[in-house]
Structure formats: C-alpha cells, structure tokens
Structure 1
Amino acid sequence: MDRRNFMATAGLGAVGSTLAAPALAQSQPEVIWRLQSSYPKSLNTIYGAADSFAKAVTEATDGRFQIQVFAAGEIIPPLSIVDGVQRGTVEMGQTGSYFYIGQDPAFAFGTCIPFGPNARQQNGWFYEGGGNDLFNEFCATYDLVHFPAGNTGTQMGGWFRKEINSAEDLKGLKMRIGGLAGNVLQRLGLVPTQIAAGDIYPSLERGTIDAAEFVGPQDDQNLGLSKIAPFYYFPGFWEGAASLSFFINLEKWKALPASYQSIVRTAAMAAGTEMTAKYDVQNPIALARLLSEGTQLRAFPQDVLQKSYAAAREVYAELGEKSPAFKKLLDHQMEYRDRTYQWWRISDYSYDTLMLRAAQEQW
C-alpha cells in the first residue's frame, strides 16, 4: 500500500471511530443520580471535586449518565450522608467518612486516623496497597460502596482564641474537631464536638466553642475563622492525610453497567487528583495572606504531641477490642505505613529536609 492510500485509509478509520462513539453511547441506559455533599459551595475546592466528578461522568457517557450535585443540607443534613445513601434518599454522597465513627470506628479509615500515613502513603494504601478493597469489605455491611474523593494533604491544627503553651492548656477547652482526634484529645482534657462546616464560624463567634479545626489555609480563610481566633496551630497530627469519600448505594452500584462503573472509578480518581493539586497551589497563597493580616502561626508544644501519640495508641487498643473491622483495618494500615517509612526516610523525607535547609540558608 502506498503512503497516500495508507493515510486515506487511516483517516477514514479515525473518522469512523469518532462517528461510532455516540452510537455506542446510545446503546447504554439513561441514568440520573443525585449526589449530596457534606460541604457548602463556598468551599470550592472540596465541593468543587464533586462537581468535577459529576461533569466527567456526564461527558464520558455522552450525557447518558448524569449526576446532579447538591450542597450541604439541600436534601439531607450535612453529617447524615451515609444514612441518606444507605436509605436510597440519594444515590451517592461526598463526605468525610470519619464523621460516622459513632456507627463504627472503622469508618475513620475512609478519611484518616491520628498519626496515620501522609497523603502519598494514603493514596498508595487505597489504590495499590489493598486499603480500599479492605475498606469496601466493611462498607458492604452498610450497603455502601466507597471511592476516595481526593486528599487534602496534612491539615492544620486549628484556630484557638488563646495560646497553647502546654498540654495543660487543653483542659476544659471546647473544640470543633473531626474523627478520632476528639477521642484522643479528650484524654488530655479537651472537650470535643463535631460541627458541620457551615456552623463552625457562628459557633466560634458565639463562644459555644473555644477553638476549631477544619482543613487548611484555603478553606479556613473562606470560612472566616481568622476573624475570631488569632492563633493558628500546626501540624494537624490527627489528619496527616485526610481523604474525602464518595459513598454509593450498593444496590444502585450493582445496577450500573460495567462501563459506567469503570467511568465512575476513573472520574473519582481524576477529581481527587485535581483536588489535591488545587490545595497544593492554593494553601501557600492563602497562608501568606492570613499571616499578612495578623494571623499568629504557632507549633503545638512537644508535650501535646507526645501525650497525644500515647493517647492515640490507648484509644486504638480499646477500639480494636470493640470493633473487629477497626482492628483489621488498623493492623493492615499500620503494617503498610511502617513498611513504607523505611523507604520514605531515605527518599522524600531526606530530599525535603535537604531542600528546606537550602531554602532557609540560601545555599
């Protein structure tokens, strides 16, 4: 075959493939789902991940599979996503899995546990280390399917009205804090409470709480927390890598064609990657802005970190006795985390330490 005939044939093949795609899409069923987020639209990075996910699914199916996204509270209460998805009130939701530890502490592993993996380790555990498969074994007992929906990276330790000089200063402090961190810090005398994102600012403003943590500079700035509490602490050792979650009703998931299921998996991963990238770009900018406006950045005292680490180990031992699912997930994740640190110590940690020194000392 000469070159001109080959090119002509190749061109026709490409056009034929393009023309065939809509026909293939037309052979699939029309599906309309509703997805509610736990977060308001003002948190455009977190909530935006749900929008990006829904858009990707619609485009990949030529509009045959549409997912309508609703903000916190528009259909069900923002911290009742798991219940709403279980009942089928909505087909799926976007939330922090650790909001539901009251049902079973194993739900924490969809987000994170104090002193757990960092963001890259967490993604590795979910996608290639068997973590999401194991977590889905647990979720199936609640008629749910789970997919990671993005990772915030290491979060901040939160906003405090007064300075924390030692662990003693936590005693009696009322704080909005998510997940198992409340169980851990309660042992140091802190009084934890779980409040939806939209209620944090008014609770802090009214004095119902004395401190609050949410995510990091970008989201915390959007919530206006710096206007009320001047001291901004780091690190959020209870959220070394906080993953968001997409929960899907198990029956609705099983009813999807295999091609739609594949698209959902891919779209969730894409939306999650985009969300993490946005945080990596936006958080440094937002932090600089907060500091220029008078925010006082503080590191947690060493005794807070050490006592919290000891308390976390106690909490995990007790929860493992009560919840077999929690112990199974904990053992799996901790073995994975500790194994990966053997590599991390000489790779990323070593390199990051080098570059931080170079930047500070201007080599």
Structure 2
Amino acid sequence: MKRRDILKGVGMAAAAAGLAACSQSGQNTGAAVADEGPRQWKMVTSWPTNFPGLGTGAARLAERITQATGGRITVKVFGSGELVPPFEVFDAVSRGTAEIGHSAAYYWKGKAPAAPFFCAVPFGLNAQEMTSWLRVGGGLELWRELYAPFNLVPFPAGNTGVQLAGWFRKPINGIGDLQGLKMRIPGLGGDVLQAVGGVPVNLPGAEIFSSLQSGAIDAAEWVGPYNDLAFGLHRVAKYAYYPGWQEPGPTLEAIFNKTAFDSLPHDLKAIVDACCAAVNDEMLAEYTARNQQALDSLVREHGTQLRRLPDDVLGALKRAADDVLDNLANSDPFARRAWNSIRAFRAQAQAWHSVSEEAYYQARR
C-alpha cells in the first residue's frame, strides 16, 4: 500500500472516530478512563490467514485500529489454528487469551441459543437490512446484552451479502433429494436442513474441500463465488445452487474482551467503533465487486453448473425455517426477543423495499 493511501485511510478513520464519539454505539458513557499507554493486542480468527475477503478483512481491521490509534493499540492477527482452533475464538477472547476475535456468531449457538440471530437468519435480513437493524433498529443493544455475561463486546465487522445456496455433488431436483444429504452448513441453516431430512455437518472452512473430495459430505455452503473459487470447491462438486436462503446477509463479528475494551479511554473506544464500521462496509463492497467476476470464471472456465433451487424445495425450506425459528423462540426467552425484533424490522424493511429497491430492480430490468 502506498504511503499516501495509508495516511488517507488513517485520516478517514480518525474523522469517522470523531463522529462515532457522538453516537450511542461508541459506548462512551460513564466516567473517563485514563490512558494506560500503548497496548499490544492479539486478534484470533476463524479464517485462514489472508484468505480473500474473510481473512483479509480481519487483517484490515487490525491494520486500521493500529493506524488510526497512532500505535496506541497495536493488533497482531493469528489465523485459524495459529493460536487457537477456529471454533474456540469465542472462548479465547472471553477468557482473555486474546483481546479481539473475528468470527461469526452462529458458531456459538451451543453457548447462547440466540447467537445465530446476530449473524444470519434463514429467509431473514439481507446485508443492508442487517446493518440497519444492528446499528439503528436495536439489534446491537440486544447483541451486547447477550454477550455481556461472557465478558465480550461485539461489533459488526464484515458482511458478504447474499450467499450461494451451496455446492452439491449431485443435482437437486426436488425436496426428496435433500433426504439424508450430508451438508456442511452451520447455524440456523443447519437446523432447517435437518428439519427437511438433511444431515447438517459443522466444519471449519479449511476442511470443506477434503471432506467433499472424500465423500464424507455430499454438499457444502461456504460463502460465495469469490471465496468458493479460492477454495477450489468446483473441483470436487459440479453443481452450484442459488439463492442463498440460509445466509441472506451474514454479519461477521469483531468481539472484544470486555475487560480490555472497558479499559480504553473514550477516544480509543470511538476509534475502534469507527474502524469496525468501516471494515463492515468495505467487506460488502469487496464481495459485491468480486463475486460476479469469480462466478464468470467458475461457469465459463471450469464448467460449473449454476442452477436455481426448485420452487418446491425453496417452499419447503421456507416453511421449515418458520417452524425452526418459532420453536427456538419458544424455547429461549432471549431468542424470542431477538426473533421478534428481527421479524418486526424485516416487515418494515420489506414494505419500504417493495417501493424502493425491488421496484427499482424491476424498472432497471
């Protein structure tokens, strides 16, 4: 990166920090905290080091915080498995082994049943709606309330946009083809697949290729063309299906050890908030720019068969999703609060988008 670009980035982040200091999401309440001097923090992630989009997004966040704070916080990134395994990020940050984690909330549903609501809800909010719900619609306050007992402070810090429905070794022609299908699919999407007769398998990204290749799983959803091409999933599964019903707007999280975060003076808290917000927007911009380029390569150069899921399959998945979400809400009081909040926000967003985004897409076509 050129020096002038770095300085420009620092300047923008500093300006954004000034604005964030005036916002409720900066957590600038309570007594002032004295600056203890330079801090050297560790960030653990669930992604391979420098993996396009996900890993580079985590690295970008670490770089932004380091630059925008003028080195008052220096962040060193550890990729998946370098310091802790990918599915131990939550615990590592909770207990202070690392001060920051970059991951996805749906990995922690075994610790907090409502956690997946803050990442991706099947047939739920898209990326624009998720960011709006979290930042303006009360979602972030709920998220922080949920994580507080674990000594964690979450921030939205990345979004990939609507994903593919997944990669399949065999074609899906009807709902019967999902019976007994072993698929790598985490979070609430996995619960929905199980409800229609499939077998969800939770695997870290680094194990997807080998599991598909060996036949240990029959299908997998990862992210989208940009990342799927990088992983070479087209080499072990011929069929790519859309739309990504299971993850319409998956939000990635930056989780901070609450003790470490609370030790920051107000200006550093505001800078951290601004850096997370910037990376959240930039990741979505990156995926919007790169996904179609990768999809063109997959179809034209590698012979991937891109197919839409049949209507009866989508209908069955939608009905199962409604049941799964209602059952979860009925079994956990916090899940009920989160689901009610998302459902109300979705109805509001849908009403507006019917005369804005959706109407414009129709007019453009």
1:306 aligns with 2:315: yes
Deviation at 1:81, TM superposition (A): 0.9
Tell me which residue corresponds to 1:332: 341
Tell me which residue corresponds to 2:121: 113
Percent identity over paired residues: 39
Structure 1 segments, 4+ long, off by >4 Å, are none
Alignment CA distance shift 1:228-1:46 (3 Å): same
Structure 1 unmatched runs, 5+ = 1-26, 358-363
Tell me which residue corresponds to 1:200: 208
Deviation at 1:354, TM superposition (A): 2.1
Larger CA Rg, structure 1 vs 2: 1
1:122 aligns with 2:146: no
Tell me which residue corresponds to 1:96: 104
* Separation in 2, partners of 1:250, 1:304: 43
State the Cα deviation string for residues 213-266 of structure 1 (Å, max 9, x = none). 100000000111000100000011011101100111111111111111111000
Please, which moves more after superposition, 296-305 or 310-319? 310-319
Q: Is the 8 A contact 2:50 2:56 kept in 1?
A: no
- Paired residues for 1:222-233 under 5 Å: 222-233=230-241
Question: Which fold has the larger relative contact order, with Cα–Cα distance below 8 Å and residues 6 or more apart in sequence?
Answer: 2
Q: Is the 8 A contact 2:50 2:59 kept in 1?
A: no
* Separation in 2, partners of 1:114, 1:332: 15
State the Cα deviation string for residues 285-321 of structure 1 (Å, max 9, x = none). 0000000120000111111111111111111122112
SS at match of 1:129: coil
Deviation at 1:104, TM superposition (A): 2.0
1:234 aligns with 2:247: no
1:316 aligns with 2:332: no
State the Cα deviation string for residues 51-86 of structure 1 (Å, max 9, x = none). 111111111221121011111011111011111111
Match for 1:54: what amino acid? Answer: A
TM-score of the aligned structures, taking structure 1 as reference length: 0.89
Q: Is the 8 A contact 2:66 2:74 kept in 1?
A: yes
Deviation at 1:42, TM superposition (A): 4.9
SS at match of 1:47: helix
Tell me which residue corresponds to 2:277: 269
* Separation in 2, partners of 1:44, 1:298: 25
Tell me which residue corresponds to 1:218: 226
Alignment root-mean-square deviation, CA: 1.1
Match for 1:348: what amino acid? Answer: E
Deviation at 1:41, TM superposition (A): 2.3
Tell me which residue corresponds to 2:13: none
Structure 2 unmatched runs, 5+ = 1-34
* Separation in 2, partners of 1:141, 1:321: 22
SS at match of 1:141: helix
1:87 maps to which of 87, 91, 95 = 95
Tell me which residue corresponds to 1:22: none
Deviation at 1:339, TM superposition (A): 1.0
TM-score of the aligned structures, taking structure 2 as reference length: 0.89
Deviation at 1:274, TM superposition (A): 1.0
Deviation at 1:99, TM superposition (A): 0.8
Tell me which residue corresponds to 1:294: 303
State the Cα deviation string for residues 137-185 of structure 1 (Å, max 9, x = none). 1111221100001111100011000000001000011000021111111
Tell me which residue corresponds to 1:24: none
1:350 aligns with 2:363: no
* Separation in 1, partners of 2:315, 2:274: 40
State the Cα deviation string for residues 79-104 of structure 1 (Å, max 9, x = none). 11111111111111000110111222
* Separation in 1, partners of 2:330, 2:126: 26
Q: Is the 8 A contact 1:104 1:323 kept in 2?
A: no
